[in-house]
Amino acid sequence: MSGSLKVRVQRYRPEEDDAPWWQSFEVPWSEDTSVLDALNHIKDVEDGSLSYRWSCRMAICGSCGVMVNDEPRLGCKTFLRHYADADEIVLRPLENLAVERDLVSDIDPMLAHIETVQPWLQREQAEAPEAGETLQTPVQMARYESFSHCINCGLCYAACPQFGRNPDFLGPAALTLAQRYNLDSRDEGREARMPFLNGEDGVWACTFVGYCSDVCPKDVDPAAAINQGKVASNVNYAVNLFRLLRGGDDA
């Protein structure tokens, strides 16, 4: 199984261009040629000025996300053989993010949102290593495990029309990570995260389009995490109401 395929790439060089433009290449492919291999071929053989992000080639680093025929995909996990019957494949930088150059998107807004929800294990009191491990049963781990597979590739942000409409929306990956740590039996940082989940740009800004879960290359299912976050937000609201009625602080 082999052949050649027309690859149309969106170009944008900030020093020279005021608007993006298209460039086409004829790329030879065999059964194991990925979109990332095709981009490497173009850069090595056809046009060395083409810019794109990549690193691991095995869907771990999350760097090579691009729009392939209008779908957010990892270049290394998408193969030209699946497009053998198409006239061409069209590569664009990830949707909903600013374009720095060619296929390179600015993922800073996504990283800022992820940082907002404090996605790390938090303990109310620091423990010395001598105190030993904090143990967790397999059932406790299963509650959050699938949500911990996120590689921050940003495909879910490119798939999310709510993030496209409102860049302040914390978005699929950030809200999934918040849920991942809230569900972790070792974590005690829920009260610090809930104000962000409850806020206007938190879980309630999600309208369950669900496409984020379709495009996730690690089967994380962000739509499930966010909508479980809505349940958690409701419970948190009731708890806060109860606390306020009793004259306490909300949290």
Looking at residue 108, its amino acid is D
Backbone dihedral region for residue 70 (phi beyond 0: left; psi -120 to 50: alpha; all else: beta)? left
Residue 69 near residue 95, CB atoms below 8 Å = no
The CB-of-125 to other proteins minimum distance in angstroms stands at 28
**70 in contact with other proteins (CB under 8 A):** yes
**99 in contact with other proteins (CB under 8 A):** yes
Region of 83-91, 196-204, 219-227, 233-241 interacting with other proteins (CB under 8 A):
219-227
CA dist., res. 7 & res. 43, Å (int) = 13
**219 in contact with other proteins (CB under 8 A):** no
Residue 154 near residue 216, CB atoms below 8 Å = no
**209 in contact with other proteins (CB under 8 A):** yes
β-strand partners of 23: 9
Measured from the Cβ of residue 39, the count of other Cβ atoms closer than 10 Å reads 26
**71 in contact with other proteins (CB under 8 A):** yes
Residue 77 near residue 151, CB atoms below 8 Å = no
Residue whose C-alpha is closest to residue 7's, from 106, 107, 75:
75
Taken as a whole, the chain contains a residue count of: 251
The CB-of-242 to other proteins minimum distance in angstroms stands at 23
**149 in contact with other proteins (CB under 8 A):** no
Interface with other proteins (CB under 8 A), residue from 84, 86, 112, 142: 142
CA dist., res. 172 & res. 147, Å (int) = 11
> Residues 27-66 vs other proteins: string with x where CB under 8 A?
----------------------------------------
**161 in contact with other proteins (CB under 8 A):** yes
Q: What are phi and psi of 69, to 5 degrees?
A: 45, 50
Q: Which two tokens stand for residue 73?
A: 């995909």
Interface with other proteins (CB under 8 A), residue from 37, 95, 184, 201: 95
Interface with other proteins (CB under 8 A), residue from 8, 116, 167, 191: 167
Q: Which two tokens stand for residue 148?
A: 């911990």
**Interface residues for other proteins in 228-247 (CB under 8 A)?**
228, 230-231
Interface with other proteins (CB under 8 A), residue from 7, 12, 74, 205: 12
The site for other proteins (CB under 8 A) is made up of: 12, 14-15, 20, 70-71, 95-100, 106, 139, 142-143, 159, 161, 164-165, 167, 207-211, 213-214, 221, 223-224, 227-228, 230-231
